[in-house]
Amino acid sequence: MDSKDWILQNDLYFNLNTANEEMSKNEVDLIQQIDKAKLTPDKHIETKYGLGTIRNLSSGCKTLLNIVKHPDKVVNVEECGPNVLKVIFTMDNIKIYMSRPTLFDIPDDAEIRFNNSDIVIGGRGYNAWWSKEYERREADDL
């Protein structure tokens, strides 16, 4: 994969690209669900803290919108909190990047493919894969 196929800096990518795209009803609902923010037609957000621009969304919300709007790209999810990760792990056919395991409940029926090859099911499979990965890294002195 080429670097253009990756989104590593979600805030920057969102502010320069995704923020300028039209938001679907589903995406407006995600903004409401994650940040409790209402998107106005002129791309402002209304929150309990007041009015801001779409660029004032949380990093987790921006990451989620980058995933939804750009399913062809591998998106770094390391800045996401459990509220966003919970949504991400219910999505189909997405590509995400994490350099370490995350501690939250993964749905039992979530099918996860690591490195475009190993496929595991649910939290048990996820944790077992990471255990093997740490053994591999130790053996390879990484």
Q: What is the mean pLDDT of residues 1-12?
A: 89
List CB contacts of 124: < 8 A, sequence separation 6 or more.
108
Whole-prediction pTM = 0.86
Of the chain, the percentage scoring pLDDT greater than 70 comes to 99
CA dihedral 24, 29, 30, 35 (to 10 degrees): 130
Mean pLDDT confidence for 49-66: 96
93-131, pLDDT tens digit by residue? 899 998 877 777 888 998 888 888 889 999 899 999 999
- The domains of the chain are located at 3-97, 105-142
Amino acid sitting at position 51: L
- How many of the other CB atoms lie within 10 Å of CB of 59? 16
| Predicted local distance difference test score (pLDDT) of residue 11 | 97
Distance between CA atoms of residues 11 and 56, nearest Å: 10
Count of CB atoms within 10 A of residue 137's CB? Answer: 10
Mean pLDDT of 39-58: 95
Nearest one of 58, 129, 115, 130 to 66, comparing CA atoms: 58
Q: Across residues 63-67, what is the average pLDDT?
A: 98
Report whether pLDDT(1) > 70. no
